Chains A and B, each alone.
Chain A
Amino acid sequence: MKQKKVATKPDGGNFEQSLKRLEEIVEALEEGSVTLEEVLQMYQEGAQLSKQCLEQLHQAELTLKRLSKDINGKFELVDEEPRA
């Protein structure tokens, strides 16, 4: 049941970026120098992002892996049984 997983888990990083973008949007909105059209555009983007963020926060389930190294020094992430 070995599973090689090189790609990072999508959630965390995206979440960080999404939240950063959300904060940018609010800052820009608060600053008030943007046009009405931009305001509406940003608001729409923000609404979508925050929806995604909340979904990510609610869907996530902890994953547990073990870092193993073979004799050639190659690394592998092995699924680990969840423990109580």
Chain B
Amino acid sequence: MKTAAAILSVTDITRRIKTTLEQSFTNLTIQGEISNFKHHSSGHLYFTLKDEGAQISGVMWRSRVASLFFTPQDGMKVIARGNISVYEVRGVYQLDVQQLQPLGVGDLQVAFEKLKQKLFAEGLFAQDHKKPLPRFPRRIGLVTSPTGAAVRDMIQVIGRRYPIVELILCPVRVQGEGAAAEIAQAIDDCNEFGGIDLLIVGRGGGSLEDLWAFNEEIVARAIYRSSIPVVSAVGHEVDVTIADFVADLRAPTPSAAAELAVPKRDDLVEIVRNICYTSEQIVTDRLAAQREQIRTLIGSYSFNKPFDKVRQFAQRADELKLALGRMVGHRLALLGQQCASLEKRMDSVRPERILERGYAMVFRDHHVVPSAGELATGDAIVVRFRDGDIGATVGPDTHTN
């Protein structure tokens, strides 16, 4: 007789499978190609790992996603490290991925090219979206690692070239776990903060994996949406990242970025001095020209005309004076003649002229006595002759008829 097999519930058997599987398959390293990749809004990654013969579901929990230095994509060959886990609710087993790496540099290159093409198609590299760099930045944000040669070089170069600026460090991790997210966040923060007029985003040299954060989509998008102009400065001259394509200006190295970001103080001093010199020259020339003009004016015919006029008036005045003199003289002469003729006439009627003809005049008490009747006998009279006066007394009446 067969003993009846124990009856198990679905939950029981699933639990036993789960225990068996999860205990047997730990610390696995599996190579495969990613397909059905989904980055869920919860932050977890879901995908399928497959090869020619089989496939297995994979999940990477959000807490571990942060350690990815790249964004997995369909078709990418990867090496996944993790354990098998069973999802009891749905009765499926899956690979709980703790670490994910591209199989080789070749695959990173593929990812790089794919993202590059995608963002290019979206217009993230468009030339007309690129913003001009400020000529004289006031505040420059450095989004980079706070330690290391890159930040030190940039501070040094800017301090030497253009110490007028204020440098704002935005310390971020530039490689490994969560670096891309930190970089993107720092770019967003700088924009939100405001008052920063230029960003340098970058790091020093390293392997392709080290630089990978700058090939991530979130960094590219953060650069693209930044209203502050961004200079990318990743690795060495030969390293070209997605960030470089999106940035408003690509600098081959952090030091070069610092040089491109600010003018040189000595150049500015030179510019200001030149302006001084030029304007001085212009003003000097202008003054000389004006002086010359004034001199010309003073010597000019029209400028001297007023004096001519004055002289002309003076001459006319002299002439008038002469004329006046002549007129007065003439008049005086005329009057003189009139006087002389009157005098003559007066002279002809003078009493003396009558006396000269043998007449005499009789005076009594100094008054002329024109009539004999006015005289009485005994009156004392004076008789005036031509040649003198004699006294006489009126005798008795000797009236003649």
Seen from chain A, the residues whose Cβ lies within 8 Å of a Cβ on chain B are 6, 8-9, 11-13, 15-16, 19, 22-23, 25-26, 29-30, 32, 36, 39-40, 42-43, 46-47, 50, 53-54, 56-58, 60-67, 69, 75, 77, 80, 82-84
Contacts and interface: CB of A to CB of B under 8 A. Distances in A.
12 contacts: A11-B164, A19-B136, A19-B268, A29-B283, A36-B286, A43-B283, A46-B276, A53-B272, A54-B272, A62-B155, A66-B171, A67-B193
Contacts of B271: 19
B154 to A, nearest CB: 11
A12 B138 contact: yes
Given A8-B138, A12-B138, A13-B138, A65 B279 contact: no
B279 A61 contact: no
B169 A23 contact: no
Contacts of B170: 66-67
B275 A23 contact: yes
A50 B167 contact: no
B168 A57 contact: no
Contacts of B273: 50, 54
A2 B226 CA distance: 27
B159 A57 contact: no
Chain B interface size band reads 35 or more
Interface string B149-171: 00010010011000111111111
A36 B284 CA distance: 11
A75 B139 CA distance: 15
Nearest to B262: A12
A19 B167 contact: no
Given A63-B167, A65-B167, A30 B282 contact: yes
Given A12-B136, A43-B283, A67-B193, A26 B278 contact: yes
Given A66-B171, A67-B189, A29 B282 contact: yes
Contact of B189 (A8, A50, A69): A69
Contacts of A64: 155, 166-167, 169
Interface in B331-385: none
B377 to A, nearest CB: 113
A9 B268 contact: no
Contacts of B189: 67, 69, 75
Interface in B254-274: 265, 268-269, 271-273
A83 B152 contact: yes
A9 B166 contact: yes
Contact of B272 (A19, A30, A39, A42): A19
Nearest to B158: A62
B312 interface: no
B169 A67 contact: yes
Interface string B275-296: 1101110110011001000000
A80 B151 CA distance: 13
B286 A50 contact: no
Contacts of B135: 16
A14 to B, nearest CB: 9
Given A26-B279, A36-B290, A43-B283, 20 more contacts: A8-B138, A8-B195, A11-B138, A11-B164, A15-B136, A22-B272, A29-B279, A29-B282, A36-B286, A36-B287, A43-B280, A46-B279, A47-B276, A50-B276, A57-B265, A60-B164, A62-B167, A65-B167, A67-B193, A75-B192
B201 to A, nearest CB: 13
Contact of A8 (B136, B139, B193, B282): B139
B229 interface: no
A1 to B, nearest CB: 15
Contacts of A15: 136, 164, 268
A75 B186 CA distance: 12
B190 interface: yes
A9 B83 CA distance: 56
A53 B59 CA distance: 61
Contact of B166 (A6, A29, A40, A63): A63
